Amino acid sequence: MTEFKTDDSKAPSYTSVDHVELDNTEKQQQKLASPKPDCLTHGPSQVPLLDHELQKPQAKDIIRTLAAALNDIADEKKCTKCTVENISTLLVGHVRDLRAAKRSGVWSKEDKKALKAEIKGLLKPVKKDVKSLWKAN
C-alpha cells in the first residue's frame, strides 16, 4: 500500500522574516511569470491563481499521492478501507493547512476573492451535472 505522509501537528505559522511588500501589479506579474501552456480548447489559463497554487511542491506531492492511492483502490491486492482512510487523513491535513494559511494572512484579500471565484467557476459545471444526475434518478 502507498504510504501517505501526514502531519497531524500544528500547522506552520507561514510568517516570513524577510517580507517585502509589493504592490498588486507586481504580485500578479510574479504569480503569472511562468504560465502554463495554452489549452487547445480553452486558450490561456482561465484560473491562473489556482494553477499557481497547484504548482507548489506541497500540492504536487499531494496530487501524486492521491493518484497513487487511486491506483491502490483499483488494485485488488490492496486494502480499500485502509487506502480510503489514508486518503481522508491526507485531505483533512491539507485542508487544515489551507485554512491555517487563509487565517494567517498568506493570501491577500484580493487573492482570496480571486481564488474563490476561480474555484466556483470550475465547480459550477460539475455542480450542474451532479444536480441533473440526481434529478434523473
The better pLDDT of the pair 7, 48 is held by: 48
For residue 10, pLDDT beyond 70: no
SS (H, E, C) 7-33: CCCCCCCCCCCCCCCCCHHHHHHHHCC
The string of DSSP letters for 56-97 reads SHHHHHHHHHHHHHHHHHH-TTS-HHHHHHHHHHHHHHHHHH
Give the mean model confidence (pLDDT) for residues 2-13.
48
pLDDT class for 3, splitting at 50, 70, 90?
A: low
pLDDT class for 14, splitting at 50, 70, 90?
A: very low
Q: Which of 69, 62, 59 is nearest to 2 (CA)?
A: 69
Q: Which of 56, 60, 100, 74 is nearest to 2 (CA)?
A: 74
Taking only the tens place, the pLDDT of each residue in 35-47 is 556 777 877 878 8
Task: Residue count of the chain, please give it.
Answer: 137
Q: Which residues contact 69 (CB under 8 A, 6 or more apart)?
A: 2, 4, 83, 86, 87, 90
Look at residue 37 in the predicted model and tell me its pLDDT: 62
